[in-house]
Structure 1
Amino acid sequence: MDFAQIKIALGAIKRLFYDSRPQKLGGHGKNIYIEYPLMFHNPSNIFLEDNTSIKAFTTVLNTTGKFIMKRNSTAAQNLTVVTGNHHYVKGRFFNDSIKYRLADIEKDVIVEEDALICANVTLLSGVVIGRGCIIGAGTIVRKSTPPYSIVIGNPARVIKFVLSPEDIVEHELNLYPETERLPLNILKKHQETYIGKTL
């Protein structure tokens, strides 16, 4: 491939992903970082808050469902977000159900503040990734995750927490206003409930 062909190919990639640029998003804060190439099916339903970043080869498969990434969260390469589910319709071929969206149900996918999503993660319809979570590489998340949990695998499971409940309370003192801090009793309950639990 010569230089002219490379230039044409890069131009095609740029055009293909142009609609995903921040000005086309439903909303975005300050200091966001988006690495190309990526694909957003409906950029107007994607909301990125301050200091968020999404690395290359991210795909957000959304029609009416929203993908919301809150402040200071990061997603590594090859994140896949799926806001919808296809359902079988009696008397119709499944392919028609999908093609014409006869029984689709879409739910928002939300990544709370200060979360880290590692490479090759899939987030499925309706999932909320809790504040401060680390989602390990290759994880498929079908259910919401508690704050500050470390989640890995398929099916996803909580293997531990980033900090103890007391340390989380101390950690949040300078980061969040009092009204936004997570209460100690809830943090303790999560850590007692979720360790080793499949999500």
Structure 2
Amino acid sequence: MSVSGYIRNNARLKKLFHWMLIPTNQARPRLWVRIFLNPFYHHKGRNVIIRRWVRMDVVPFNHFSIGNNSVIEDFSTINNGVGDVVIGENSLVGMSNVIIGPVKIGDNVIFAQNIVASGLNHNYTDIYQPIHKQGVTVASITIEDDCWIGANVVVTAGVTIGKHSVIAAGTVVTKDVPPYSVAVGNPSRIIKKYDENQKQWIKTY
């Protein structure tokens, strides 16, 4: 068994190792992790810009990567504590976004401002336990290439947004969006799709 496998299978050792990486009841890893461990475990492409006021809550036991020429703007939070966060090439994560893995963002994607994309949900079914003690479930979010996600959008766990789709500002995306679609509303609904035969965007309502 590998060292990492041994740690994962030993509850006490796993707890100790986790405490060494992240202070109790916090999401931000310790300074030594950010300086000495993360650069060796995570991939950062060429010409990447991560602004000074971005909160990078990334740990070495899950994957984080960002492709060439991509940008993460100020006041955003990136968290891979419960799942990988992968950002493709030539993509923009706008100001004040929150991305909690597992999330995969493709190439040439535009995230506007104040977007939340979280692959995490808190369990709540046991009414005799506080929610924060019931653990979490995760389901991966995928944003395919060439998408534009408008301001104040919420993308819920398990959703896939297909290639070259547009999500209007303020939309809550609770189900998959097909490629070449425009989605609006809460919950989201499709109002346009691109018709390959007619070579134009067609209203669906």
State the TM-score, normalizing by the size of structure 1: 0.66
Aligned CA distance change for structure 1 residues 91 and 151 (closer, same or farther; 3 Å) = closer
Indicate conservation of the 8 Å contact 2:89/2:106, yes or no.
yes
Residue 38 of structure 1, CA deviation: 0.8
Where does the alignment leave 5 or more consecutive residues of structure 2 unmatched?
Answer: 1-50
- Which structure would you say has the larger RCO, counting Cα contacts within 8 Å and 6 or more residues apart? 1
- Residue of structure 1 equivalent to 2:172: 140
| Structure 2 Cα separation of the partners of residues 16 and 36 of structure 1 | 5
Aligned CA distance change for structure 1 residues 115 and 91 (closer, same or farther; 3 Å) = closer
- Residue of structure 2 equivalent to 1:59: 98
| Structure 1 Cα separation of the partners of residues 182 and 52 of structure 2 | 37
Alignment of 1:1-199 (within 5 A): 17-19=54-56, 26-42=64-80, 45-60=84-99, 62=100, 65-90=101-126, 92-93=128-129, 96-97=130-131, 99-100=132-133, 102-161=134-193, 163-166=194-197, 195-196=204-205
Aligned CA distance change for structure 1 residues 108 and 115 (closer, same or farther; 3 Å) = same
- Matched to 1:32, the amino acid is S
Q: Is the strand fraction higher in 1 or 2? A: 2
- Residue of structure 2 equivalent to 1:180: none
Residue 17 of structure 1, CA deviation: 3.4
Residue 83 of structure 1, CA deviation: 1.0
| Structure 2 Cα separation of the partners of residues 154 and 53 of structure 1 | 24
State the TM-score, normalizing by the size of structure 2: 0.64
How many aligned positions are there?
Answer: 150
Q: Is the helix fraction higher in 1 or 2? A: 1
Aligned CA distance change for structure 1 residues 165 and 153 (closer, same or farther; 3 Å) = same
Residue 104 of structure 1, CA deviation: 2.0
List, as ranges, runs of 4+ consecutive aligned residues in structure 1 with deviation greater than 4 Å: none
